[in-house]
């Protein structure tokens, strides 16, 4: 039976400018003809073992439709093809996520229909359980199913990123663009690696065995629900058959399945190096675009897998053909408001911005994203030297700094030249290490170049994450009004933006009007007698995936003002079991029950090591107790209309209070005066 390889179907796009490797299956001599425009070549080849392969000279004509035909004198096969740039996409669910399930899907489907693109989606057969998927145990020479190339207008059920990126690249280059889409939800990295290559890394194999992610060829398809992502399974089924096919580049968007802990990330990186070795051997050293995984909270492992995997992806740039694409600054959205019932917060529905960044790299608009190239320590400051574009802005958020003891603190950062950022903290006199955007939620990380490209996340030392790391809480970021909370799965929570500040949640206090600005959090209240003239503000203190850090630092340094005399009663906290405490408030070096604040900024310290119970008995807050605090409230008291501004809240290990006026509260009733032991 005469047959062309499954890649060569009507509508196929073949890589321009490279020799054309045509292969297929036959039992006797085959005549192969490729013609179109002014190009016409006729080659004859004898098959070997029922297979044939021949090579045509490169084609540079991207306008004409070509006919590729093969004949053995008895049978003949003919298909229409075109030439342009062809890319492979690889990954898991956020790569395979269909265009129809994304926001603005009609807009981008129409764009795809108007674009000169064609996609070959190596989709999975229908299944009700992934144990029904059986991968080949050994590399295949052709696809296991009969796939068809689809025009852009037919791709609503194809990868949104693949479709949208192809549309942008075709539009920018003015040529046909083809995509071979190999991704599927839930895939592990090792399924893209050949067994032969994987077995060269004994430590990796030992790790996979320990994690239950290894099986021999003899044990293939006995892994139950993990059949679909067995080691080398996707390589055998979808990658190996593409040997000899030319590509202009590869897009990788996978890592979620390894988002567990530092060890997983290290072995993910080793796996990626092996995959890259396979791909280089098969397709040449072509551009490899590695997209950072989506900003999601993975509630297992060390809870930091998201950061560690993206760090490993960035490290791949040691290979000059790799471009790491950050996406932390793209606002994640999970809800497609079309009335459908589907909802899974792990999948962002706004794929277009990610696809645009992929297209920027594939079309040559961007080679690398800006990064911190090195850090110089000078005069108590860490100076970051960046490359990749002129820095934009003045004051930056998202940096932390540590001394030689390795304990990090939120840091101030300012742009001092087009490629220099000064990073400093009053807590660290001699900086030794820094991080930037190395945290679960990077909502407020704002270091960008003038063309809007975000600075890649960075940390000085790649190591296991410990309690000395600081993942800057939103309530310490001046001007922060809303922050993301991601619970990973719909069945245990939701994914949404929540207020960073809202009305006090512990005291039944007065209503307040809250506004957020660069000068801080303003809280306006007309205090009422039936609320004992109390009013308060509660920060977003206990959110899924966020760390409030009160167990890791000894103090909050707070700066306050008020437009009329107002008492600051300190901070009150509620424990998981409902009990309420008040950490000690320091006014200068002395503890205070309350402090009077006015127009002049007052800097006070809230001590997280000591406080009082409801009966005013002193209590020490060990780390275990502090980890159980779930609510906090800044409590104020005034007999007149007032606007209080919380100008800043800083994590500290020292009492940095500069002092203010002590409030004097006198009871009008002698029988209300409590006895004193002093």
Mean pLDDT per block of 10 residues along the chain (678 residues) reads 96 98 97 97 96 97 98 96 98 95 95 98 94 96 97 97 98 98 97 98 98 95 96 98 98 96 98 98 98 90 94 98 97 82 77 98 97 95 97 95 97 97 96 96 96 97 96 96 88 86 92 94 95 95 94 97 96 96 97 96 97 95 96 97 97 93 63 57
pLDDT score, position 294? 87
Which two three-digit tokens encode residue 291? 């997209």
Coil, helix or strand for 104?
A: coil
Q: Which long-range contacts (CB under 8 A, 24 or more apart) does 56-60 make?
A: 56/19, 56/20, 56/22, 56/32, 57/19, 57/20, 58/16, 58/17, 58/18, 58/19, 58/20, 59/14, 59/16, 59/17, 59/20, 59/34, 59/83, 60/16, 60/17
Pairwise CA distance, residues 494 & 297, whole Å: 11
Q: How many other CB atoms sit within 10 Å of the CB of residue 125?
A: 9
Residue 26 belongs to a domain:
no
Q: What is the pLDDT of residue 437?
A: 98
Do 565 and 449 sit in the same domain of this protein?
no
Chain-centroid distance of CA 162 in Å reads 18
Q: 514 and 415: one domain?
A: no
Place of tokens 């030794």: 432
Q: 543 and 437, same structural domain? A: no
- CB atoms near residue 74 (< 10 Å): 8
Report the CATH number that the domain containing residue 106 is assigned in CATH.
3.40.50.1110
Is there a contact between 221 and 191 (Cβ–Cβ < 8 Å)? no
**Predicted pLDDT of residue 390:** 97
Distance between CA atoms of residues 220 and 228, nearest Å: 10
Rounded CA separation 556/575 (Å): 18
Of 301, 218, 314, the residue nearest 272 (C-alpha) = 314
Query: How far is Cα 143 from Cα 658, in angstroms, rounded to an integer?
Result: 72
Q: Give the C-alpha distances (Å, rounded to integers) separating 417 from 36, 347, 457, 615.
A: 55, 38, 20, 55
Same domain, 118 and 212: yes
pLDDT at residue number 121: 98
| Residue where one domain finishes, among candidates 472, 501, 524 | 472
Residue 467 CB partners (closer than 8 Å, separation 6+):
552
Distance separating alpha carbons of residues 69 and 282, to the nearest angstrom: 25
Mark which of 437, 472, 507 sits at the end of a domain: 472
The pLDDT of residue 678: 45
Q: Reduce the DSSP state of residue 231 to 3 states and report it.
A: coil
Q: Are the CB atoms for 632 and 573 separated by under 8 Å?
A: yes
End-to-end CA distance of the chain: 103
Does residue 336 belong to any structural domain of this protein?
yes
Q: What local confidence, expressed as pLDDT, does residue 671 receive?
A: 66
Alpha carbons 298 and 370: distance in angstroms, whole number: 27
CA 554 to chain centroid: 31
pTM score = 0.94
Same domain as 391, residue 504: no
CATH number at residue 659: 2.60.120.260
**Do 338 and 201 belong to one domain?**
yes
Report the alpha-carbon angle 151-153-159, nearest 5: 80
Residues 266 and 375 in one domain: no
Domain boundary among 362, 397, 419: 362
pLDDT given for residue 666 in this prediction: 55
In terms of domains, do 328 and 417 share one?
A: no
Tokens found for residue 416: 């001092």
The per-residue pLDDT for 676 is: 56
Asked, for residue 4, whether it belongs to a domain, the answer is no
Partnered with residue 620 across adjacent β-strands are 610
Are 568 and 544 part of one and the same domain?
yes
Q: Is residue 595 part of a domain?
A: yes
Is residue 107 in a domain? yes
Q: Is the alpha carbon torsion for 520, 522, 523, 526 positive or negative?
A: positive
Same structural domain, 351 and 394 = no
Range of the domain at 585: 491-672
Q: Which residues contact 338 (CB under 8 A, 6 or more apart)?
A: none
Q: How many Cβ atoms are within 10 Å of 89's Cβ, its own excluded?
A: 27
- Tokens (6 digits) for 409: 């603190």
| Residue 23 domain flag | no
Whether 30 contacts 3, CB under 8 Å: no
pLDDT for 668: 55
CA distance 624 to 104: 47
* Residue 429 and residue 503 share a domain: no
- Say how far residue 66 (Cα) sits from the centre of its chain: 42
- Using CA of residue 22, residue 24, residue 30, residue 31, what is the dihedral sign? negative
Number of domains comprising the chain: 3
Do both 318 and 393 map to the same domain?
Answer: no
């Amino acid at each position: 039976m005469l047959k062309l390889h499954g890649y060569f179907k009507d509508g196929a796009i073949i890589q321009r400018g490279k020799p054309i490797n045509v292969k297929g299956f036959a039992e006797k001599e085959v005549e192969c003809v490729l013609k179109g425009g002014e190009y016409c070549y006729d080659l004859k080849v004898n098959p070997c073992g029922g297979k044939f392969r021949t090579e045509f000279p490169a084609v540079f004509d991207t306008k004409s439709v070509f006919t590729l035909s093969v004949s053995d004198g008895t049978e003949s096969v003919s298909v229409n093809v075109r030439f342009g740039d062809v890319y492979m996409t690889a990954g898991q669910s956020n790569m395979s996520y269909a265009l129809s399930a994304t926001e603005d899907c009609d807009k981008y489907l129409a764009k795809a229909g108007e674009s000169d693109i064609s996609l070959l989606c190596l989709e999975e057969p229908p299944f009700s359980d992934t144990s029904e998927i059986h991968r080949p145990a050994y590399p295949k020479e052709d696809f296991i199913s009969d796939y068809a190339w689809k025009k852009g207008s037919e791709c609503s059920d194809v990868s949104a990123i693949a479709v949208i990126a192809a549309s942008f690249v075709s539009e920018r280059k003015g040529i046909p663009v083809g995509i071979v889409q190999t991704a599927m939800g839930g895939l592990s990295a090792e399924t893209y690696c050949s067994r032969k290559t994987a077995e060269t890394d004994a430590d990796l194999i030992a790790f996979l065995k320990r994690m239950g992610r290894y099986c021999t060829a003899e044990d293939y398809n006995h892994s139950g629900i993990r059949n679909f992502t067995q080691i080398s399974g996707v390589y055998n089924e979808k990658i190996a058959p593409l040997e000899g096919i030319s590509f202009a580049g590869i897009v990788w968007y996978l890592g979620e399945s390894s988002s567990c802990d530092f060890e997983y990330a290290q072995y993910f990186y080793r796996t990626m190096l092996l995959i890259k070795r396979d791909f280089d051997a098969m397709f040449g050293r072509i551009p490899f675009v590695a997209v950072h995984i989506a900003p999601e909270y993975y509630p297992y492992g060390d809870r930091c897998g998201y950061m560690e995997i993206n760090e490993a992806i960035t490290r791949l740039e040691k290979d000059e053909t790799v471009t790491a694409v950050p996406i932390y600054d793209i606002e994640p959205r999970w809800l497609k408001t079309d009335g459908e019932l589907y909802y899974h917060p792990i999948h962002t529905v706004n794929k277009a911005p990610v696809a645009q960044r992929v297209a920027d790299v594939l079309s040559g608009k961007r080679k690398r994203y800006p990064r911190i190239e090195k850090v110089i320590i000078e005069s108590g400051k860490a100076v970051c030297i960046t490359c990749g574009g002129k820095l934009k802005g003045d004051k930056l958020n998202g940096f932390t700094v540590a001394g030689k003891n390795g304990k990090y603190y939120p840091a101030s950062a300012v742009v001092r030249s087009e490629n220099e950022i000064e990073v400093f903290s009053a807590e660290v006199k001699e900086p030794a290490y820094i991080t930037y955007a190395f945290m679960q939620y990077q909502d407020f990380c704002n270091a960008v170049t003038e063309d809007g490209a975000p600075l890649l996340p960075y940390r000085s030392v790649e190591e296991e994450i410990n309690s000395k790391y600081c993942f800057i809480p939103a309530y310490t970021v001046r001007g922060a009004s809303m922050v993301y909370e991601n619970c990973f799965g719909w069945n245990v929570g939701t994914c949404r933006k929540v207020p960073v500040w809202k009305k006090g949640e512990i005291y039944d206090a007065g209503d307040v009007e809250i506004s957020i600005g660069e000068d801080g959090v303003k809280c306006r209240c007309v205090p009422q007698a039936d609320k004992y003239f109390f009013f308060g503000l509660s920060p977003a203190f206990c959110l899924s995936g966020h760390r409030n850090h009160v167990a890791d630092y000894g103090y909050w340094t707070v700066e306050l003002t008020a437009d009329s005399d107002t008492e600051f009663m300190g901070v009150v906290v509620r424990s998981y079991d409902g009990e309420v405490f008040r950490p000690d408030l320091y006014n200068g070096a002395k503890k205070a029950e309350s402090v009077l604040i006015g127009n002049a900024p007052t800097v006070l310290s809230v001590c997280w090591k000591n406080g009082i119970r409801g009966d005013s008995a002193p209590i020490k807050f060990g780390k275990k107790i502090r980890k159980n605090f779930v609510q906090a409230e800044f409590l104020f008291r005034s007999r007149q209309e007032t606007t209080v501004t919380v100008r800043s809240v800083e994590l500290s290990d020292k009492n940095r209070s500069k002092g203010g006026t002590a409030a004097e509260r006198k009871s009008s009733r002698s029988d209300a005066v409590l006895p004193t032991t002093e």
